[in-house]
């Protein structure tokens, strides 16, 4: 019997490497994401290490992947756009709101001076982790940035998030100011919604 020239580990790595390259070429570049540091980080980080075992074979497809905690990892293009819009300079104190995968946080880790990773539940709570941050990135679509989270940000802090309005999700960017948080949509794309950030439902007549 002639053995395969690659052992199983090498074959798996080669397959995932090709899948990662295909993601960059067919999803990021074709959608206008060509910024060198974005391409470099998304080529360096093994996305398959941040999804459930059953989903490793589809880690690089152009769709969201359900996580074991019931949350979702957005499609690769979402993280590519968020990285590009954040454009970290290397000296930021950053907060990443992560729904459970750790992927976006790993992409940012070497690009900022200090990184605090919090869950959506922590983000809408009364904690102060990451207080004084000048960059906030949320890996999901939100209806609003709660005041408790905004208070952790320094004045002028940059915000990159998904936002949802009337069922439509978009990547959005904004700033924290003395008057609050303002967001502007920049790119329409499907993004899993983080319901922890839903606006309180009031009475309607």
Question: Is residue 3 one of the residues assigned to a domain?
Answer: no
Indicate if the pLDDT at residue 8 is higher than 90. no
Contacts 24+ apart (CB under 8 A), 197-202: 197/120, 197/123, 197/124, 197/138, 197/140, 197/142, 197/143, 197/144, 197/145, 197/146, 198/143, 198/144, 199/143, 199/144
Q: State yes or no: pLDDT of 105 exceeds 70.
A: yes
Residue 204 included in any domain = no
List the domain range (segments joined by +) for residue 70: 8-197
DSSP β-bridge partners for residue 180: 177
pLDDT surpasses 50 at 168? yes
**Is residue 147 exposed (0-12), middle (13-18) or buried (19+ Cβ within 10 Å)?**
exposed
Token pair, residue 181, equals 């948080």
Total of domains in the chain: 1
Q: Is position 69 within any domain?
A: yes
The answer to whether the Cα torsion of 142, 99, 36, 15 is positive or negative is negative
Q: What is the mean pLDDT of residues 131-148?
A: 96
Domain membership flag for residue 163: yes
The answer as to whether 1 is a domain residue is no
Residue 128, pLDDT score: 94
pLDDT in tens, 84-101: 999 999 999 999 999 999
2 within some domain = no
**100 in a structural domain:** yes
CATH number, domain at 172? 3.40.50.150
C-alpha distances (whole Å) from 80 to each of 84, 127, 145, 165 are 6, 29, 21, 22
pLDDT grade for 201, boundaries at 50, 70 and 90: confident
Alpha carbon of 88 to those of 20, 30, 35, 56, 176: distances in Å? Answer: 23, 23, 12, 29, 16
pLDDT band at residue 200, thresholds of 50, 70 and 90?
A: confident
**Structural domain includes residue 205:** no
Residue 2 has what pLDDT? 41
Tokens of 134: 């000048």
Give pLDDT tens digits for 49-91: 999 999 999 999 999 999 999 999 999 999 999 999 999 999 9
């Amino acid at each position: 019997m002639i053995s395969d020239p690659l052992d199983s580990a090498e074959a798996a790595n080669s397959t995932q490497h090709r899948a990662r390259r295909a993601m960059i070429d067919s999803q990021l570049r074709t959608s206008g994401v060509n910024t060198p540091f974005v391409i470099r980080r998304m080529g360096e980080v093994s996305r398959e290490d941040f999804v459930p075992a059953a989903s490793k074979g589809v880690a690089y497809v152009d769709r969201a992947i359900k996580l074991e905690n019931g949350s979702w990892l957005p499609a690769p293009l979402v993280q590519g756009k968020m990285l590009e819009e954040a454009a970290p300079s290397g000296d930021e104190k950053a907060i990443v709101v992560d729904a459970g995968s750790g992927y976006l946080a790993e992409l940012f880790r070497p690009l900022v001076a200090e990184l605090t990773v919090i869950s959506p539940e922590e983000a809408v709570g009364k904690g102060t982790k990451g207080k004084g941050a000048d960059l906030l990135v949320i890996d999901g679509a939100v209806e609003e940035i709660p005041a408790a989270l905004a208070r952790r940000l320094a004045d002028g802090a940059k915000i990159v998030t998904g936002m949802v309005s009337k069922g439509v999700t978009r990547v959005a960017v904004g700033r924290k100011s003395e008057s609050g948080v303002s967001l502007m949509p920049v790119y329409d794309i499907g993004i899993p919604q983080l319901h922890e950030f839903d606006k309180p439902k009031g009475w309607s007549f």
